[in-house]
């Protein structure tokens, strides 16, 4: 009888690994409630099962499963590669520094999350953001009056900005054109640089993520699947609007914001076909942006078209927000 407990633990760990690998590789919508969690979370559960089998029964196969889980988390977790880059150059407070002798531009995105902030709180939060001297700042969950205060704090009445009902794009340059997007939480504008060159910007704030974690209920799985499908439609619609109203791909594009979806979600495939995920490419450190205190999910992104090459990326704590701010530096390609 003493042989059965460790065997059951190892079989359970192996079964969880097979199921996890299948779900995260194929990403079916019906498994969205499972894959919304970071892969390493299931890995920790699998390791706990094998560790129990080893500590109490010295089961030899537990070491094999430990190696399998460790390699899976090391090579397939979204967080692994940026953590491996710790020590590489990251965006610092102050103006964006040159990269290999070339000028860079700085883009930041932040879910402001402060609709109830008073003017004093907005000013303090804007000061933190302004310390990074963004050339383009994309905000979500922000009131128009807050966006004006932030723009004034960043550029001393010399910048420009555009707002929607609860999002804003603020820039040190002039807004040349705005494209109407009937979805209330997304924006499209075109900026004109002093050189005369144009940059298109799309500010995303997708529908809120499903927070129902009761995996034992069928309704939870259905609601997660439906939420993923609706988010994917939002991305598809916004990208279609962008491509039909701009000369893309002959003009640089920034597509950023709060996607309310983890990096493994299939909706990112719609973007990665034509855009570069700046943090995944050059980011360093812990890239998860929500929640600010215990960041378990990377749901804020800055994508760029190939005419904007990412060279640095990092996350920054902004105390009054429940998200971390993502900062990325780019080289504008000829």
Give residue-wise pLDDT tens across range 103-122.
Answer: 999 999 999 886 567 888 88
Task: Look at residues 27, 43, 77 and tell me which one is the last residue of a structural domain.
Answer: 77
Assess whether 55 and 106 both reside in one domain.
Answer: no
Q: Residue 1: what pLDDT?
A: 47
Q: Residue 268: what pLDDT?
A: 97
Assess whether 118 and 179 both reside in one domain.
Answer: yes
- Calpha distance 299→292 (Å, rounded): 12
Assess whether 235 and 277 both reside in one domain.
Answer: yes
Assess whether 61 and 102 both reside in one domain.
Answer: no
Q: Residue 131: what pLDDT?
A: 96
Task: Look at residues 24, 42, 77 and tell me which one is the last residue of a structural domain.
Answer: 77
Assess whether 124 and 224 both reside in one domain.
Answer: yes
Q: For 206, which DSSP code?
A: P
User: Which residue, chain included where needed, has tokens 């310390």?
Assistant: 131
Query: Would you say 72 and 21 are in contact if contact means Cβ atoms under 8 Å apart?
Result: yes
Task: Look at residues 47, 77, 107 and tell me which one is the last residue of a structural domain.
Answer: 77
Q: Residue 115: what pLDDT?
A: 58
Q: Which of 211, 192, 208, 212 is nearest to 200 (CA)?
A: 192
Radius of gyration of the chain (CA): 22
Assess whether 204 and 89 both reside in one domain.
Answer: yes
Q: What is the mean pLDDT of each run of 10 residues along the chain (334 residues)?
A: 83 97 97 96 97 91 95 96 95 96 97 78 90 97 92 91 92 90 81 94 90 92 96 92 88 96 95 96 97 93 97 94 96 95
- Return the number of other C-beta atoms located less than 10 Å from residue 188's C-beta: 22
Which CATH number do you get for residue 161? 3.60.10.10
Domain range for 29 is: 4-77
Assess whether 178 and 327 both reside in one domain.
Answer: yes
Assess whether 126 and 213 both reside in one domain.
Answer: yes
Q: Label the pairing between strands 253-258 and 300-304.
A: antiparallel
Assess whether 213 and 255 both reside in one domain.
Answer: yes
Work out how many domains the chain is built from and give that number: 2
Q: Residue 200: what pLDDT?
A: 96
Assess whether 127 and 178 both reside in one domain.
Answer: yes
Assess whether 200 and 225 both reside in one domain.
Answer: yes
Query: Would you say 38 and 78 are in contact if contact means Cβ atoms under 8 Å apart?
Result: yes
Q: Which two tokens stand for residue 176?
A: 């040349």
Q: Is the pTM of this model over 0.85?
A: yes
Q: Residue 167: what pLDDT?
A: 92
Assess whether 49 and 121 both reside in one domain.
Answer: no
- Calpha distance 139→136 (Å, rounded): 10
Task: Give strand pairing partners of 309.
Answer: 331
The residue length of the chain stands at: 334
């Amino acid at each position: 009888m003493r042989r059965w407990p460790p065997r059951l633990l190892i079989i359970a760990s192996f079964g969880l690994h097979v199921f996890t690998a299948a779900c995260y590789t194929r990403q079916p919508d019906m498994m969205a409630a499972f894959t919304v969690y970071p892969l390493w979370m299931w890995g920790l559960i699998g390791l706990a099962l094998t560790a129990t089998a080893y500590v109490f029964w010295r089961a030899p196969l537990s070491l094999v499963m430990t190696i399998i889980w460790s390699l899976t988390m090391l090579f397939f977790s979204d967080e692994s590669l940026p953590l491996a880059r710790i020590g590489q150059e990251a965006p610092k407070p102050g103006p964006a520094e040159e990269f290999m002798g070339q000028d860079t531009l700085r883009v930041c995105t932040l879910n402001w999350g402060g609709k109830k902030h008073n003017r004093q709180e907005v000013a303090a939060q804007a000061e933190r953001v302004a310390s990074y001297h963004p050339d383009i700042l994309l905000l979500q969950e922000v009131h128009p009056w807050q966006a004006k205060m932030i723009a004034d704090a960043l550029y001393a009445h010399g910048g420009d900005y555009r707002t929607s009902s609860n999002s804003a794009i603020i820039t040190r340059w002039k807004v040349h054109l705005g494209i109407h997007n009937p979805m209330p939480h997304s924006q499209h504008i075109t900026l004109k640089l002093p050189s005369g060159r144009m940059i298109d910007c799309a500010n995303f704030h997708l529908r809120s993520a499903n927070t129902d974690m009761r995996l034992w209920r069928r309704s939870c799985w259905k609601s997660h699947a439906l939420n993923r499908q609706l988010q994917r439609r939002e991305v598809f619609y916004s990208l279609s609007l962008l491509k039909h109203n701009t000369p893309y791909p002959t003009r640089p594009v920034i597509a950023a914001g709060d996607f309310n979806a983890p990096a493994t979600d299939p909706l990112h495939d719609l973007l990665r076909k034509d855009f570069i995920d700046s943090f995944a490419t050059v980011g360093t450190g812990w890239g998860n942006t929500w929640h600010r205190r215990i960041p378990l999910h990377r749901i804020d992104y800055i994508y760029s078209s190939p005419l904007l090459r990412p060279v640095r990326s990092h996350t920054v704590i902004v105390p009054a927000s429940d998200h971390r701010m993502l900062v990325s530096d780019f080289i504008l390609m000829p």
